[in-house]
Amino acid sequence: MPDANMKGMARAKPRVPPAKPWEFMGEVVGLRIQAKRKQLGLGLAELGRRTGVNKGQLSLIEHGEQPFVSTQVMGRIARQLYTSLDELLGLDAEPLTTVDGTDDTRHRSTSRL
């Protein structure tokens, strides 16, 4: 039987893991954008003004609800966050270590915006 004190209160929607890999990637990229934006003390409206992307769309991107974003838009966001597109996408990770203990530098990206 439901608790009488809970009557009329909205139930929290359980967090469902993404069904598709690109949905997870969108969430991760969005969290990186949000962290960089907050680190710089920028609001969504200010970042939107600087990038030409409306704050509603930026919010969707940050929350992983709009995972398909053009490289042009991502590039503008990265520039205004003083970072690279590679960093936002997680492509600037440390090189992988091979079985023999040497670094495999093929997986390190060096490009910067």
**Count of structural domains within the chain:** 1
What average pLDDT is seen over the chain?
76
pLDDT, tens digit, for every residue of 23-40?
567 788 899 999 999 999
- At residue 44, the pLDDT reads 96
Domain assignment of residue 5, yes or no: no
- Hunting for tokens 């997680």 — which residue is that? 90
11, part of any domain: no
Predicted confidence at residue 82, as pLDDT, reads 96
Q: Which residue segment(s) compose the domain that 36 sits in?
A: 21-92
Residues 35 and 8: their CA atoms lie apart, in Å, by 35
Can you give the pLDDT at residue 16? 55
Domain presence at residue 47:
yes
Mean pLDDT over 86-99 rounds to 71
CATH number of the domain residue 63 falls in:
1.10.260.40
C-alpha to C-alpha distance for 14 and 38, rounded to whole angstroms: 26
Whether this prediction's pTM lies above 0.75 is answered by: no
Q: Which residues pair with 103 in a beta bridge?
A: 97
Q: Could you tell me what percent of the chain has a pLDDT over 70?
A: 59
In a domain, 107, yes or no: no
Q: Does 65 fall in a domain? A: yes
- pLDDT digit string (tens) for 42-78? 999 999 999 999 999 999 999 988 868 899 999 999 9
In a domain, 48, yes or no: yes
